[in-house]
Structure 1
Amino acid sequence: MSIDAEAAERGAELQAQRQSRALDEPDSPVARFIDQAPDLLGIDWDAPNEFPRAQRQVPMLITGAQRNRARAPRLAPGHWAVLSGGEVVGGFDALMTSLPSAIGLRVTRSRALTHAYLTHAGLPTPRTHSLGLGDADAARTVAAKFSRAVVKPATGRRGRGVSTGVRADSSSQVDAAFAFAAAHLWTRPEHDPRVLVQEHHEGLSIRVLVVAEQVVSAVARLPLHVLGDGESTLSQLTGRAAQRRSAHAFLSRFPVTLDDDTLALMGQDADEVPPSGASRVVSASDNPLSGGVTVDVTEAMCQDLHTLAVEAVWSLPDVKVAGVDLIVPDLDTAAGAVVTEFREDPVLGLHGFPLYGRSRPTATPVMETLIARAAG
């Protein structure tokens, strides 16, 4: 299938506009969380963490090994071994440790396969249909089964090519979302060359870091938003928010464009003066590596959600460490929550250096699990 570049660009534009409306419904999970977070978590949206120093993943893992009385010598460019008691017990590169099995890697890198495993385990996950790149017409038929749909590449990262809240009764929206997903599909031989059409679930996007049988950290992933003061234009508020994000030692490694053109793409008026206290979304993605922000919710998330995340990881074949993505209507209950996908090479910095809330130790429990597996 040749990708319709114009349709894919239209898909990106439509998704940006849908993201900009994330706070339109005051009782939506995202809007409710933003409103309640200052009291619930004691955070100030105008005073994020900066973390003047934020280790990259490799130094984090080396430190984690040392805290477990192990060494992590560099054996080759981009590769480190882990030695405990003088014996090699594992290894890692810039992102991946030796913890996942080969079949585990294959499963987590295919959103269709992870859905199959979750369904087999009886865990809540969105209804999903997997389509070939030539099945754009079928996507409309599938989407019509849902009131709203999610369309995404079967393999991908950073939310690229993902459309959420697609109106299933709009053929033009479904077609644009399909082209957008196809344009961002990973095409390496080991990756899944398909597009998924899923049932849309409304909720807060949570990334949970599960190590062995424990939730180490959970962060809510939000689009960058600003609060009106009744005097500043949306352009001025966005500029300040962009400066605060760029001052964050971890997120500054993933720069994004936040300017008047971005606001226009999202259907926003840069010259608007939002009323005092009114929220506006100013990033086209809630993925922290593509413009979003992170809020630590580890302790605010109920035990049933902790259990759901652990059970999700244990439904996969020999994947002891993973980032689990949940859509959660309410942090106080697992009712209505769904598991959407996994990352077998979770970005530890998301949890070690959240923009808001408490920093969590991540590399130390990962290394502890790696060493324990070799010993057991």
Structure 2
Amino acid sequence: MSTSNIEDFIRAEILVPSLKFQLADNFRSHTQLLRDEALRRGWETVSMGKGVTGFYNKAGLPTGTLQHMLTSATASSAVNICSRKHIAKSHFHRAGVPIAAGRFFPIDEHDEARDYFLNCSTPVVMKPDRGAGGAQVVTGVTTPEDFDKAWSTISAKSLKGGAILIEEQFSGIDIRAMVVGGKYVAASSRVPGFVVGDGETTFEKLVEASQIERKTNAYLKRMLGQPDYNWLSRIGIKNDTVLETGEVQILNLVYNLHQGGINVDVTRRLPEHFIAIAEAAANSIPGLAVAGVDLMVSGFDNESSAIVLEANTAANIAVHHYPAYGEAVDVAAKILDLLER
């Protein structure tokens, strides 16, 4: 799998503008950020049990609720649609939103799915129909042995009657675009953890320094990842390797922040045609008032392409409030603006 576009992004969006890793002494959770914003407005917040918080405006009137990370502005039907990837992808397709080519197979159709995989001309991604946070997602499936292993891993943890998605792997830059009330408000790119060479320090020491730096951000320090040494060894990177000055080396192929990924604010950099795609994806699902739309993009110029991976009804806004690089965006205020309408 080529990682050149990720490395190019890191150079262009972090190294060239000389962005500094953002320190954060304190961390407020998704729920706390929304409560803090409500209190700032003079609202009342009431804990109702079972993860439910009620919001009441200055006049004492109810404006909405928050259950864990899901606001009452989003319809339960939208939650159901987004929780089933094949239904959500159908909505995207009907709305003309670009998506990766692929098919869903019930977990009892292993042989049919394997035949389909063998006819695919590109590496594929395999993932469960239901799932979040990157759980059981297997990338870079290229051989029959890869397929069988991925199928076994996913099906072992799938619910009865579940399905597995096999789709074309789109190599690019991972973007989470927040759409609130049908309008784009923020975007964050997620890239794998990385180090930058100085021509002197060994790879092992660079990794140690990056882990120490990560711990200075209260949001990210809870989610330390590890280099994929098997993959690194295959591309010739060892602990005693000395990278050239300015050379970027990613540590693994994992974008997920919980597994060591890095979040970079790109709110002002996202091209207009990507913003339109994110808004179209969110608006294709009735009742999806607050959405984290996941895109995979090939670049940031007007000629770049993008696909929508999924839409999340309970996207964590802390990603935008505590970027590793770039400016924080107050998404909490945008969500309460929506509740106040």
Establish whether TM, by shorter chain, passes 0.5. yes
Give the one of 115, 124, 130 matched to 1:155: 130
Q: Does the 8 Å CA contact 2:198/2:243 hold for their aligned counterparts?
A: yes
Taking the TM superposition and a 5 Å limit, the aligned residue runs for 1:99-118 are 99-118=73-92
Which whole-Å CA distance do the structure 1 matches of 2:90 and 2:180 have between them? 22
**Aligned-pair distance for 1:207?**
0.4
Q: Name the residue aligned to 2:277.
A: 308
Give the one of 333, 336, 342 matched to 2:302: 333
Give the one of 288, 293, 318 matched to 2:287: 318
Which has the larger displacement, 92-101 or 239-248? Answer: 92-101
Q: Name the residue aligned to 1:263.
A: 229
Please say if 1:93 is aligned against 2:67.
Answer: yes
**Aligned-pair distance for 1:347?**
0.4
Structure 1 residues 352 and 130, CA gap change in structure 2 (3 angstroms) = same
Q: Structure 2 stretches of 5 or more lacking a match? A: none
Please say if 1:345 is aligned against 2:314.
Answer: yes
Q: Match for 2:105: what amino acid?
A: L
Which whole-Å CA distance do the structure 2 matches of 1:197 and 1:334 have between them? 27
**Aligned-pair distance for 1:209?**
0.8
Q: Name the residue aligned to 2:107.
A: 133
Which whole-Å CA distance do the structure 2 matches of 1:279 and 1:183 have between them? 37
Partner SS state of residue 241, structure 2: coil
Q: Match for 2:187: what amino acid?
A: A
**Aligned-pair distance for 1:217?**
0.9
Q: Name the residue aligned to 1:122.
A: 96
Which whole-Å CA distance do the structure 2 matches of 1:184 and 1:242 have between them? 31
Which whole-Å CA distance do the structure 2 matches of 1:217 and 1:334 have between them? 21
Q: Name the residue aligned to 1:63.
A: 36
Q: Does the 8 Å CA contact 2:7/2:249 hold for their aligned counterparts?
A: no
Q: Does the 8 Å CA contact 2:7/2:250 hold for their aligned counterparts?
A: no
**Aligned-pair distance for 1:352?**
0.8
Which whole-Å CA distance do the structure 1 matches of 2:107 and 2:303 have between them? 35
Partner SS state of residue 202, structure 1: coil
Q: What do you get for the CA RMSD once the two structures are aligned?
A: 2.1
CA deviation vs aligned residue, 1:13-58 (integer Å, no higher than 9, x gap): xxxxx5xxx53xxxx4212212212466x243xx310111221112
**Aligned-pair distance for 1:255?**
3.3
> Normalization by structure 2: what TM-score?
0.91
Q: Name the residue aligned to 1:35.
A: 11
Structure 1 residues 109 and 365, CA gap change in structure 2 (3 angstroms) = same
Q: Match for 1:311: what amino acid?
A: A
**Aligned-pair distance for 1:309?**
0.6
Q: Match for 1:101: what amino acid?
A: A
Q: Does the 8 Å CA contact 1:216/1:361 hold for their aligned counterparts?
A: no
Which has the larger displacement, 235-244 or 329-338? Answer: 329-338
Partner SS state of residue 29, structure 1: helix
Partner SS state of residue 197, structure 1: strand
Q: Does the 8 Å CA contact 1:65/1:82 hold for their aligned counterparts?
A: yes
Q: Does the 8 Å CA contact 2:231/2:252 hold for their aligned counterparts?
A: no
**Aligned-pair distance for 1:238?**
0.8
Which whole-Å CA distance do the structure 2 matches of 1:179 and 1:235 have between them? 34
Which whole-Å CA distance do the structure 2 matches of 1:110 and 1:266 have between them? 34
Instruction: Give the number of aligned pairs.
Output: 336
Which whole-Å CA distance do the structure 1 matches of 2:48 and 2:10 have between them? 46
Q: Match for 2:82: what amino acid?
A: T
Q: Does the 8 Å CA contact 1:304/1:334 hold for their aligned counterparts?
A: no
Give the one of 244, 261, 265 matched to 1:292: 261
**Aligned-pair distance for 1:148?**
1.9
Q: Match for 1:99: what amino acid?
A: A
**Aligned-pair distance for 1:335?**
4.6
**Aligned-pair distance for 1:273?**
2.2
**Aligned-pair distance for 1:320?**
0.6
Partner SS state of residue 305, structure 2: coil
Which whole-Å CA distance do the structure 2 matches of 1:295 and 1:142 have between them? 36
Q: Does the 8 Å CA contact 1:284/1:291 hold for their aligned counterparts?
A: no
Q: Name the residue aligned to 2:116.
A: 142
**Aligned-pair distance for 1:133?**
1.6
Which whole-Å CA distance do the structure 2 matches of 1:277 and 1:89 have between them? 51
> Normalization by structure 1: what TM-score?
0.83
Please say if 1:213 is aligned against 2:179.
Answer: no
Structure 1 residues 335 and 269, CA gap change in structure 2 (3 angstroms) = closer
**Aligned-pair distance for 1:73?**
1.6
Q: Does the 8 Å CA contact 1:264/1:270 hold for their aligned counterparts?
A: no
Q: Match for 1:314: what amino acid?
A: N
Q: Does the 8 Å CA contact 1:118/1:312 hold for their aligned counterparts?
A: yes
CA deviation vs aligned residue, 1:175-219 (integer Å, no higher than 9, x gap): 22223333454x3x8xx8211001122211100111113211101
